[in-house]
């Protein structure tokens, strides 16, 4: 016999629902802070390129191979980590992953051969592959009803960390040499302590929720529509991160070649670009929550095209202006794309996050290797003339269904 809910039980249900919709900002900021520390370590890899290029007498192709090694190790494992943690969440895996990054960082500061440099960046990549899927899941769990905002806060930390790399390189690595990279192990140790505390918060949640079996999907769409939409999203990720590879890995060389800037001066321009990336990241998620993620994807990928096309023909002053617009507009895409994909396949946050983070890292690595060879064969300026057209791929956004209307 069914029991009629009493006012007390109805009230307790409302309280539980309200808690489920609350955004846990202290956890989000802690995850974002650890993301900043993780990506600060990652960003030291391209920031150290001008130093090791001279000391090891490397070609652009060899520089590209370093990035390819890092991105490959950081990308291949991510989908598998996401799938595994969907079934068996690992609250302390983030701290363990940071241990790999710490090992790679210490090796990078002291090794004396090119193969060992490749091994060092591979260790940092493995740490990153463990970090991103599970950290994204924790951000999703703490989001409440504001998924886009949560992913933007999470991504903001990562992009802020990426922007710090060139600045720290200009202040510490360039004056004191590659061995000074060992001092950044302090960052890794701080991150391990923060991630262990986050793991303590996350651990009770792993006991409450059993992993979902089978592939769930958005009931308003067919499986064929979902698969096609995921493919379109991955192509958009390709256009974004292939262009980003040209900026993060070769922009300093472009400035030094075209405008005859010093290494230190060029690093400040790269810092400006990466800082604008961090600012744009914070906009994408909330705008997607309010106006719809498809419109944010439209504006971010396709809207940056006029600025990328102008960049190869601009003088130094306008180059500094254009990179700010490119960074802000381009950065708003990823949070919207990731949450859009999570809404396409609900219940598989880790797998979706691992797929998209891994694909983004992989494309960035392939892009770096390809563009390095292109720069060796032609010129660094020609690379930017070719990459200027990549944002036009954003026209494919027209094929994405409007999930807000479907709901």
In a domain, 321, yes or no: yes
- Pair of tokens at residue 34: 């650890």
Instruction: Calculate what percentage of the chain has a pLDDT beyond 70.
Output: 89
Overall number of domains in the chain: 1
Residue (of 395, 237, 380, 393) closest to 311 by Cα position: 380
Task: Give the pLDDT confidence score for residue 16 in this predicted structure.
Answer: 37
Task: Give the pLDDT confidence score for residue 305 in this predicted structure.
Answer: 92
Instruction: Calculate what percentage of the chain has a pLDDT beyond 90.
Output: 19
Say yes or no to pLDDT of 333 above 90.
Answer: no
Task: Give the pLDDT confidence score for residue 326 in this predicted structure.
Answer: 94
Say yes or no to pLDDT of 12 above 50.
Answer: no
Q: Please list, in sequence order, all residues whose beta carbon lies within 8 angstroms of the beta carbon of residue 104, skipping any fewer than 6 positions away.
A: 120, 121, 122, 123, 124, 125, 126, 127
In a domain, 13, yes or no: no
Highest mean pLDDT: which range of 57-66, 105-114, 190-199: 190-199
Between the two ends of the chain, the Cα-to-Cα distance in Å is 34
In a domain, 380, yes or no: yes
Higher pLDDT, 158 or 4: 158
In a domain, 244, yes or no: yes
Q: Please list, in sequence order, all residues whose beta carbon lies within 8 angstroms of the beta carbon of residue 338, skipping any fewer than 6 positions away.
A: 136, 151, 352, 353, 356
pLDDT tens string 201-231 = 888 876 655 444 444 455 677 888 888 999 9
- Pair of tokens at residue 17: 């629902």
Residue 379: what are its φ and ψ, rounded to 5°? -160, 160
Give 400's DSSP letter. S
pLDDT tens string 375-404 = 889 999 999 999 999 999 988 888 888 876
Contacts for 324-327 with beta carbons within 8 Å, 24 or more apart?
324/272, 324/273, 324/276, 325/276, 326/247, 326/273, 326/276, 327/273, 327/274, 327/275, 327/276, 327/277, 327/279, 327/280
pLDDT, mean over the chain? 81
Q: Please give the model's pTM, rounded to 2 decimal places.
A: 0.69
User: Where do the H-state alpha helices sit in 48-92?
Assistant: 49-55, 60-87
Task: Give the pLDDT confidence score for residue 113 in this predicted structure.
Answer: 87
In a domain, 6, yes or no: no
> Among 94-98, 179-183, 260-264, where is mean pLDDT lowest?
179-183
> Among 49-58, 172-181, 299-308, where is mean pLDDT lowest?
172-181
Domain that holds residue 179: 23-406
Say yes or no to pLDDT of 336 above 60.
Answer: yes
Say yes or no to pLDDT of 284 above 90.
Answer: no
In a domain, 15, yes or no: no
Say yes or no to pLDDT of 4 above 70.
Answer: no
CATH number at 181 reads: 1.20.1250.20
In a domain, 395, yes or no: yes
């Amino acid at each position: 016999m069914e029991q009629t809910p009493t006012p007390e039980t109805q009230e307790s249900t409302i309280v539980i629902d309200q808690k489920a919709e609350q955004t846990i900002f202290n956890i989000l900021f802690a995850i974002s802070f650890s993301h900043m520390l993780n990506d600060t370590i990652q960003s030291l890899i391209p920031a150290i390129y001008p130093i090791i290029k001279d000391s090891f007498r490397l070609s652009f192709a060899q520089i590209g191979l370093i990035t390819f090694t890092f991105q490959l190790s950081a990308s291949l494992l991510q989908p598998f980590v996401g799938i595994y943690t969907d079934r068996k969440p690992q609250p302390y895996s983030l701290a363990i992953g940071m241990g790999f990054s710490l090992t790679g960082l210490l090796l990078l500061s002291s090794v004396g051969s090119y193969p060992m440099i490749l091994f060092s960046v591979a260790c940092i990549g493995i740490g990153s592959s463990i970090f991103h899927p599970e950290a994204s899941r924790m951000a999703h769990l703490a989001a409440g009803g504001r998924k886009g905002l949560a992913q933007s806060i999470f991504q903001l930390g990562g992009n802020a960390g990426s922007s710090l790399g060139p600045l720290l390189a200009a202040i510490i690595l360039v004056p004191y040499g590659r061995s000074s990279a060992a001092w950044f192990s302090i960052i890794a140790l701080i991150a391990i302590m923060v991630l262990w505390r986050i793991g303590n918060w996350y651990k009770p949640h792993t006991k409450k929720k059993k992993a979902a079996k089978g592939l769930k999907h958005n009931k308003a769409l067919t499986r064929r529509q979902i698969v096609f939409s995921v493919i379109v999203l991955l192509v958009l990720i390709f256009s974004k991160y292939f262009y980003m590879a040209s900026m993060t890995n070769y922009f300093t060389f472009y400035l030094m070649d075209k405008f005859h800037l010093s290494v230190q001066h060029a690093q400040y321009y790269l810092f400006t670009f990466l800082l604008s990336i961090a600012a744009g990241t914070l906009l994408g998620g909330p705008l997607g929550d309010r106006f719809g993620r498809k419109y944010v994807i439209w504006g971010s990928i396709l809207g940056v095209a006029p600025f990328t096309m102008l960049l190869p023909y601009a003088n130094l002053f306008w180059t500094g202006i254009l990179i700010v617009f490119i960074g802000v507009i381009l950065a708003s895409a990823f949070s919207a794309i990731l949450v859009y994909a999570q809404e396409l396949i609900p219940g598989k946050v880790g797998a979706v996050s691992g797929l998209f983070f891994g694909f983004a890292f992989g494309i960035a690595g392939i892009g770096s290797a390809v563009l390095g060879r292109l720069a060796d064969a032609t010129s660094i300026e020609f690379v930017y003339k070719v990459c200027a057209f990549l944002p036009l791929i954003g026209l494919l956004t027209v094929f994405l269904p409007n999930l807000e209307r479907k709901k």
